[in-house]
A and B are shown apart, each in its own frame.
Chain A
Amino acid sequence: MSLKRGFAAGLCAAVFLGASWSMANERNKIDPPSYDRMQILADVLAIVESDYVEPVETQALIEGALQGALAKLDPHSGYVPPVAFTEQVKAARREYGGLGIEVTMEEGMIKINYALEDGPAFQAGIRSGDFITAVEGESIVGKNLDEAVEGIRGLAGDPVIVTVMSPETGTRDLTVVRQKVRGRAIRHRVEDGLGYVLIESFNNTKLTDDLTKAINELKAELGDPLPGLIIDLRGNRGGLLTQSVSVSGLFLDGGEVLSVRGRQDVDTERYHAEDGELLPGTPIVVLVSPGSASAAEILAGALQDRGRAVVVGRRSFGKGSVQSVIPMPGKRGALRLTTQKYYTPSGKSIQGRGIMPDFLVSAFDDTGELRRRFREDSLPNALINIDASEYEEDYDAVTFPPETFPETEDFQLKTAVDVLKSSQYQTLLDAQSDLD
């Protein structure tokens, strides 16, 4: 048996905060594992092939071996077999047919929260604030949101008749042709006289554009400069590294957003914000939760480190590693491998410890203790951060909702509003620089 010693130069690798493509660095001459070790695996394979109680497939055995080895490295590394890999590429490109609207249920009707400008609903005259009362003549009263929306979805190119009620024009039937539309990864609204944007995910190549548009709409409504902005990253699992950098760039005037470091120092890559910012002087609160991970932590960490925003909520997830998807030549699937860790502008690693809010605020009632939350460091075989142990939240430092606070309301959001509207914002911002 001989081992393949080289690799075709210039393999494509995806940096897997999400799926942006970059070139893998071909810096090292690659040494295969020692012949001895490989020989053991080859021996085992031969014995299993001949003696196992049932017929076996070599490919499945090697797949099992690869999964076994890679899963032990860390929770984000793994082998993606050829079929699954093709599926994954497809899934990333899949598009849905719809009307290009974001909706909620209100008083038994579908309320349009937002109509995408380039979507068919907007072009047919449907606007935010309108209600849909019937689909294809069938009233949606008494249905839940999923049932109500079901009739709206369908194949791109097929028309659907919706009955629309709006304050200006009353009720009318509109025929809208479903199109392949891309969804937004954000939601925005005015919250108590302040701007509010929820970023659900960084896995959307138009995120920065959508966010810019949303902020401009908020400006149009609330006046320029905005009196304050809340960026909600709670539950945001991350996504594309490039989007986290460009979104950070909206709020920072140049300077470092993060650095990405591999095993060797020469591998360090630094990412910078573009010059100029969208909201100079506007106070910003970033909301984070233990579910905020990866790209979301990059944004929160950059705005916090650079003194541009106050971070409110609970300590974030702590996924500070970058995965490269390395296709194995010859359609042999791909390797998803943790190759780098990333660091905030002040040089802190996020891995295993996350972003610590400036103001610790719980969404849930005080139970006398901090509930253990699921974070990166609770994952089996997680890469540990050397100084992570000092990064625990202090129960005494956490603000809990008062007992009288209504369960249906969002205490963290309310706190963010209070912070922005009071001198507390400046106090918290000053405390940041005291630490540095």
Chain B
Amino acid sequence: MKYVLPVVGTVAALGLFAFSTANQAAMAVEKPSYSDTFEQLDLFADVMARVRSDYVVEVEDGQLIEDAINGMLQSLDPHSSYVNPEDWLRLQEQTSGRYVGVGMEVTQEEGYVKVVSPIDGTPAKEAGIESGDYITEINGETVLGLSLTEAVNKIRGKAGESVTITIARADEEPSEITLIRREVNREVVTYEIKDGVPYIRISQFNEKAAPGLEGAITELRRQIGGELPGLVLDVRTNPGGLLDQSIKVSSAFLDGGEVVSTRGRDGANLESYDAAPGQLLRDVPVIVLIDEASASASEIVAGAIQDRGRGLVLGMTSFGKGSVQSLIPLRGGRDGALRLTTQRYYTPAGRSIQGTGIDPDLYVSSIPDDGEDHDRLSESDLPNSIENEDSEAAEDIDTEETVIDFPPEDFDVQDDYQLQRAVELIKSGRYTQRLAELQN
């Protein structure tokens, strides 16, 4: 049975772009010795009994255990957590239903909530919240001491109600922003023709991503009056989403063959996910735009197109989330569920992108060169993040000499230099040559 984990589109902000999910509770792996487990549980029970009898005020058992489970899971990695029964129900509703919220992807850093990306067409985006902003207070209360889930729960609520968050940004005084939660349009695909070149943006990989892409291609073909002369596929700031959607999106460009594979502990339980035979866009030049906030499912698409030689990847090195979370219900969900990192995924060439991200074929910066090496928030910066098994790969990203194409100093960032470069490349006809160069 497959459980779909719609973190991104629906809960927006619950975890971090965790995606997909199989219940693999029955995996055969060597278990730690029974006696050790028993002793440890015994210790836990003893401590809890002590707390119960001696703590200065009365405590509620259920809360203690929930905090304990969360503590256990969060000690593993930033994407594993406990979903309590209440949230589990909400999650179920949201899979089939609608998303009400403010629309941002968040993570936790040094106790604060950090915005990974605001989602297109949501109150957060409209209020000018940016990637990298810190949320220090929610409704006037500090977020210090809250787990990510708790903080997110405070941000979430009913449509029409407001939530006030305090945003701290480098070199600026903290400011309060009031957002009104609303039902968010979950269309995640937008498209247009830029200087004669078709452009499609996917902002998240929710269940509307692949249908949206197909619809956009059909509509663009109609406007052009024939096959597309090329396509810029934009997954910048796209935090990921569902695994099956990333495969369907990749299938539009690939004629069968592997898109991604996932492996469990010690490389066991290899599963390969292939593109559907036939492709929507045969021989159409494709440039995928990525940036530091492209994560997870976005990295699968970029990685597959890059490894299969199907297109060029342009922008900056992506986030580097190469792990898969499974949503495992406890007693059918009556005790909530476990969101647990169970697998890593690998690009068709067998690369793990965990911690390293996808390096673009063409490094193009969105902002002019100010001589500084800008810190990007990446998976490897998250507390307890899982390391890449191939440590050399992890080091490579810093040591490798990279030539970055920066916009001129007076360039208006609004004009989107990365997109301009992609469009130019397709129009100039140098695309084919560059692709061939890379393949040698």
Where the two chains meet, the residues of A that have a C-beta atom closer than 8 Å to any C-beta of B are: 1, 3-5, 7, 24, 28, 30-34, 37-38, 40-73, 75, 77, 79, 262-263, 321, 324, 326, 328, 332, 335, 337-341, 378-381, 383
Interface centre among B46, B76, B336 (most CB of A within 10 A): B46
Give the docked Cα–Cα distance between A381 and B48 (Å). Answer: 18
Give the docked Cα–Cα distance between A32 and B41 (Å). Answer: 12
Q: Are A68 and B70 in contact (CB under 8 A)?
A: yes
Q: Are B72 and A321 in contact (CB under 8 A)?
A: no
Q: A44-B69, A65-B68, A321-B56 in contact; A53/B50 too (CB < 8 A)?
A: no
Chain A interface main SS type: mixed
Chain A residues with CB under 8 A of B32: 49, 56-58
Is B398 an interface residue, CB under 8 A from the partner?
no
Q: Taking the nearest CB of chain A, how far is it from the CB of B166, in angstroms? A: 13
Sort A-B residue pairs by CB-CB distance and give the 3 closest, nearest first.
Answer: A68-B71, A380-B145, A64-B75
Interface centre among A30, A47, A324 (most CB of B within 10 A): A47
Q: A31-B52, A62-B41, A380-B142 in contact; A72/B67 too (CB < 8 A)?
A: yes
Closest B residue to A69 by CB, please name it: B68
Chain B residues with CB under 8 A of A32: 45, 48-49, 52
Instruction: Encode contact with A along B31-73: 1 for CB under 8 Å, 0 otherwise.
Output: 1100011101111111111111111111101111101111111
Q: A31-B52, A43-B335, A58-B32 in contact; A69/B64 too (CB < 8 A)?
A: yes
Q: Are B29 and A335 in contact (CB under 8 A)?
A: no
Interface centre among A7, A63, A72, A378 (most CB of B within 10 A): A72
Q: Are B49 and A30 in contact (CB under 8 A)?
A: yes
Chain B residues with CB under 8 A of A42: 41
Q: Are B25 and A30 in contact (CB under 8 A)?
A: no
Is B74 an interface residue, CB under 8 A from the partner?
yes
Where the two chains meet, the residues of B that have a C-beta atom closer than 8 Å to any C-beta of A are: 24-25, 27-29, 31-32, 36-38, 40-59, 61-65, 67-76, 80, 82, 111, 142, 144-146, 264-266, 323, 326, 328, 330-331, 335-336, 338, 340-344, 386
Q: Are A339 and B43 in contact (CB under 8 A)?
A: no
Interface centre among A52, A65, A67, A326 (most CB of B within 10 A): A65
Q: Are A339 and B341 in contact (CB under 8 A)?
A: no
Q: A3-B42, A53-B264, A64-B71 in contact; A47/B56 too (CB < 8 A)?
A: no
Q: Are B56 and A60 in contact (CB under 8 A)?
A: no
Which of B28, B146, B336 makes the CB contact (< 8 A) with A380?
A: B146
Q: A44-B72, A328-B46 in contact; A53/B29 too (CB < 8 A)?
A: no
Give the docked Cα–Cα distance between A75 and B64 (Å). Answer: 15
Selected A-B contacts with CB under 8 Å, 18 pairs: A3-B42, A3-B45, A37-B65, A38-B48, A40-B330, A45-B41, A48-B73, A51-B328, A53-B342, A53-B386, A55-B265, A58-B37, A64-B74, A64-B75, A67-B75, A73-B51, A263-B55, A328-B47
Q: Taking the nearest CB of chain B, how far is it from the CB of A351, in angstroms? A: 9
Q: Are A38 and B57 in contact (CB under 8 A)?
A: no
Q: Are A47 and B72 in contact (CB under 8 A)?
A: no
Closest B residue to A381 by CB, please name it: B145
Q: Taking the nearest CB of chain A, how far is it from the CB of B146, in angstroms? A: 7
Chain B residues with CB under 8 A of A328: 43, 46-47
Give the docked Cα–Cα distance between A77 and B281 (Å). Answer: 60
Q: Are B29 and A41 in contact (CB under 8 A)?
A: no
Q: Are B72 and A64 in contact (CB under 8 A)?
A: yes
Chain A residues with CB under 8 A of B56: 262-263, 321, 338-341, 383
Q: Are B44 and A379 in contact (CB under 8 A)?
A: no
Q: Are B338 and A37 in contact (CB under 8 A)?
A: no
Q: A33-B45, A62-B40 in contact; A44/B82 too (CB < 8 A)?
A: yes
Give the docked Cα–Cα distance between A116 and B50 (Å). Answer: 44
Q: Are A50 and B46 in contact (CB under 8 A)?
A: no
Give the docked Cα–Cα distance between A378 and B38 (Å). Answer: 39
Q: Are B75 and A31 in contact (CB under 8 A)?
A: no
Chain A residues with CB under 8 A of B28: 50
Q: A51-B342, A58-B36, A79-B47 in contact; A43/B330 too (CB < 8 A)?
A: yes
Q: A4-B46, A53-B265, A332-B43 in contact; A34/B61 too (CB < 8 A)?
A: yes
Q: Are B37 and A45 in contact (CB under 8 A)?
A: yes
Give the docked Cα–Cα distance between A337 and B46 (Å). Answer: 13
Chain A residues with CB under 8 A of B341: 52-53
Closest A residue to B28 by CB, please name it: A50
Closest A residue to B38 by CB, please name it: A1
Give the docked Cα–Cα distance between A396 and B147 (Å). Answer: 38
Q: Are B76 and A52 in contact (CB under 8 A)?
A: yes
Chain A residues with CB under 8 A of B37: 45-46, 49, 58
Give the docked Cα–Cα distance between A82 and B342 (Å). Answer: 30
Q: Taking the nearest CB of chain B, how far is it from the CB of A320, in angstroms? A: 10
Q: Are A324 and B54 in contact (CB under 8 A)?
A: yes
Which of A50, A69, A379 makes the CB contact (< 8 A) with B71?
A: A69
Which of B31, B38, B42, B68 makes the CB contact (< 8 A) with A68?
A: B68
Give the docked Cα–Cα distance between A68 and B31 (Å). Answer: 24
Give the docked Cα–Cα distance between A72 and B57 (Å). Answer: 13
Give the docked Cα–Cα distance between A383 and B326 (Å). Answer: 36
Which of A24, A49, A67, A263 makes the CB contact (< 8 A) with B58?
A: A263
Give the docked Cα–Cα distance between A61 and B57 (Å). Answer: 27
Q: Are B330 and A44 in contact (CB under 8 A)?
A: yes
Given A32-B49, A45-B40, A335-B47, 10 more A-B residue pairs with CB atoms under 8 Å apart are A32-B48, A33-B64, A44-B330, A48-B72, A50-B27, A50-B31, A53-B343, A58-B40, A59-B36, A262-B54
